[in-house]
Amino acid sequence: MPRSLEIRTDSFPIAGTFTISRGAKTSAEVIACIVTENGVSGWGECVPYRRYGETMESVAAQIEAAKPLVEAGISLADLQRAMPPGAARNAVDCALWDLRAKQSGTSVAATLGLSEPRPLTTAYTISLGEPDVMAEQARANAGRALLKVKVGTGDDESRIRAVRAAAPDAAIILDANEGWPEATLEHHLRVSAEAGVALVEQPLPAGKDEMLAVIDHPLLICADESVHHAGDLASLRDRYDAINIKLDKTGGLTEALVMKREAQRLGFKIMLGCMVGTSLAMAPAVLLAQDVEFVDLDGPLLLARDREPGLRYTASLVWPPEASLWG
C-alpha cells in the first residue's frame, strides 16, 4: 500500500491550571501526525505555541502542505529542508522516525547507537502564583528530586524564598519565561543563588538579552525562547551558560540531535525540555535526554489524562518508551 499521512487534533485537560508569566491554560491542545505504509504506522505529536506565532490551524495547515512530499517518501534529511523548524515539522519528523523503527524492527535508540536507555530524573513544574500558593505546591512535591518553578514578575524574591523553605532538599530550576525586568535582574539572580537555585531559565526577552553579557552569573543562566535550532547557538555564548532543547522548537528529533552535538561542542550545559503535551510528545525527548544535565519532561504529569499506553513515571523518574508508544 502507498504511504499515507493523517492529521489528528486533540485536547487533553490539565490537572488544575498551568500558569506562567504570559498567562494560564487548562488544557493541552496537541496535533498528532500518523504516517502509514504497508499497514505499519508511525506516530508523532506536536504542541503549537502562540509565543512563536503558531496556532492549531496554522500548524495543521503546514503538515497538510507537506503531505504530498511525505506520501511520496521524503527522507528525514530532505524533510529538514522542506519544512521550517517548529511544531509542524516535529510531528512529521517524529512520525517518520517511529515508522522507520516499526518497519525495521530496530529501535530508534539502537539506530542512533545509544546504549540501553535508562530512567531519568525529571523536573516537576510548580505554576506561577502567589507565594503562599506556590509554597503549598512545593511542599506537596518536596520529596521530588527536581522542581521547576515558574516565576517572571517584577518581585519574585518572596516566591523564591517561599518555595525554597517549603522544599528544602529539592534541587530547583527557575523559569522566568522572559518576565524579569532588567531593573530587578541582578537582584533576582543574587536571591536565586542565595536560595541554592541550580539554574535560571530565560530571564529576559529573546532579542533583548544583551545585559546577560555584561553582568555576573552567580548561577547558570539558560536560553529557552532565545534558542530554537543549531544555527542560534554561536551567537549566545557570551550570554548563556546552558540551552533548553525542545523538539517543538527544533522541528523534531533530527535537528535536535544536531543541536545537541553542537551545543556540547560549544560547552553549553543542556536541558531537555518540553511543552505541555502527552507521553507521545515526550517519548523521543527521553532518548535525547540520556546524557544531559537537566531533564524537564513532566508534561504528562501535569495532565488529568494521558494517551494509552503512556510513559511510565515513578516519583521523579521517567522511563524510556515502550515500542507500543513510540520508537
Tell which of 50, 83, 106 closes a domain.
Answer: 106
Position 112 in a domain: no
Position 164 in a domain: yes
The residue whose grid cell reads 525554597 is 164
Q: What is the pTM of this model?
A: 0.96
Query: What average pLDDT does the chain have?
Result: 97
Tell me: do 126 and 99 sit in the same domain.
no
Tell me: do 126 and 100 sit in the same domain.
no
Does 246 participate in catalysis according to the annotation? yes
Position 326 in a domain: no
Other CB atoms within a 10 A radius of the CB of residue 227 amount to 26
Does 150 participate in catalysis according to the annotation? yes
Tell me: do 102 and 24 sit in the same domain.
yes
Tell me: do 155 and 279 sit in the same domain.
yes
Tell me: do 88 and 220 sit in the same domain.
no
Position 89 in a domain: yes
Position 66 in a domain: yes
CA 185 to CA 315: how far, in whole Å?
33
Query: Tell me, what's the pLDDT at 232?
Result: 97
Tell me: do 76 and 222 sit in the same domain.
no
Total of domains in the chain: 2
Position 97 in a domain: yes
* Catalytic entry in 102, 148, 150, 249: 150
Per-residue pLDDT tens over the stretch 57-100: 999 999 999 999 999 999 999 999 999 999 999 999 999 999 99
**CATH no. for residue 245?**
3.20.20.120
Per-residue pLDDT tens over the stretch 167-206: 999 999 999 999 999 999 999 999 999 999 999 999 999 9
Position 324 in a domain: no
Q: Which residues pair with 143 in a beta bridge?
A: none
Tell me: do 178 and 308 sit in the same domain.
yes
Tell me: do 218 and 126 sit in the same domain.
yes
Q: Residue 24: pLDDT above 90?
A: no
Tell which of 78, 106, 134 closes a domain.
Answer: 106
Domain carrying residue 174? 120-318
* Catalytic entry in 148, 246, 249, 260: 246
**CATH no. for residue 73?**
3.30.390.10
Tell which of 71, 106, 141 closes a domain.
Answer: 106
Tell me: do 40 and 124 sit in the same domain.
no
Q: Residue 258: pLDDT above 80?
A: yes
Position 39 in a domain: yes
Tell me: do 77 and 172 sit in the same domain.
no
Tell me: do 153 and 96 sit in the same domain.
no
Q: In whole angstroms, how large is the CA radius of gyration of the chain?
A: 19
Tell me: do 214 and 289 sit in the same domain.
yes
